[in-house]
Amino acid sequence: MIATHVRDFVLSDCVTTLVRVRARRLCHCPGFCPTDCDDLQQELLLRVLRRLDRFDPRRGALLTFIRHLVKRSASHILRGQRSLKRAGTLGALLIDGTVLNVHGKSIPIGETVSEEDGRRRTGARPTSGIEQLERSEAIAHAYCALSLSERDVWSLLTRRTPTAAAREMATSRRQVRNIMAVIRCQLESAGLRNSWKN
C-alpha cells in the first residue's frame, strides 16, 4: 500500500516537471515526434506510480528514487521503440537482387523504395515544405535581431567549436558563451527552442 503523502508528492509540480522534461527529451529521439509528448508524460507517470511500492525510505530520498524511476522508465520506452523499429519478427528481404513484376515489366525492388520509406524505417519525422519555410523565416528573424558582432560569432560557430571560435577571435571562451546565450534566447523567442546545440 502506497502512503498518501508519497502519492501526493508524485503528483506535485516538482515531479510533473521532471516527467515533462524527460518526455520532451524522448520526443526528439527517432521514432517519436512532438505530438507524442503528452502520451509519453502519461506513460512515464504511470510507470512511476506502479513502482512506488518499492520505495524504501531507509535507502534514500523519495525524489532520488523517483528521478531514478523516471530515467529508467524513459530508457525502457526508448528501448521498446528501437526494438519495434528493428522489426526482428518481420522477414528480411534483399532489395538489390529481388525483382518485381509490375504491369508485365520486371523492375528491381530497390527502385520502388522512396525517401519516405527510408524515413519511416529510421523513425525520422518528415518535414513538410511549409515547416521548412517557417523554420527558415524564424531563423532569419532571429539572425536579424542580433548585433553585427553577434552575427559574426553565429557565422563562426557554424564552422568552429566555441573554443576554436574564441581562439580565432582572440577573446575568452566566456565571452563566446555569453554571446551563445544571447543567440539561444533569440532562437527561443523565434519559436526554435531546440535549434541550438552546445
Residue type for position 157: L
Quote the number of domains for the chain. 3
What is the domain range of residue 76? Answer: 4-86
Tens digit of each residue's pLDDT (9 = 90 or more) over 105-145: 777 776 776 777 666 666 666 667 787 888 888 888 888 88
Is the same domain home to 103 and 167? no
Helix axes 13-27, 62-86, angle to 10 degrees: 20
pLDDT at 174 over 80: yes
Residues 115 and 156 in one domain: no
Alpha carbon distance 73, 87 (integer Å)? 21
* Nearest in space to 29 (alpha carbons), one of 66, 75, 68: 75
d(CA 51, CA 57): 14
pLDDT at position 154 over 70: yes
Asked whether residue 133 falls in the same domain as residue 116, the answer is no
Task: Please state, as a whole number, how many other Cβ atoms lie within 10 Å of the Cβ of residue 51.
Answer: 15
> What is the distance, to the nearest Å, from the Cα of residue 140 to the centroid of all Cα atoms in its chain?
23
Residue 176 Cα distances to 47, 110, 114, 143, angstroms: 42, 47, 42, 16
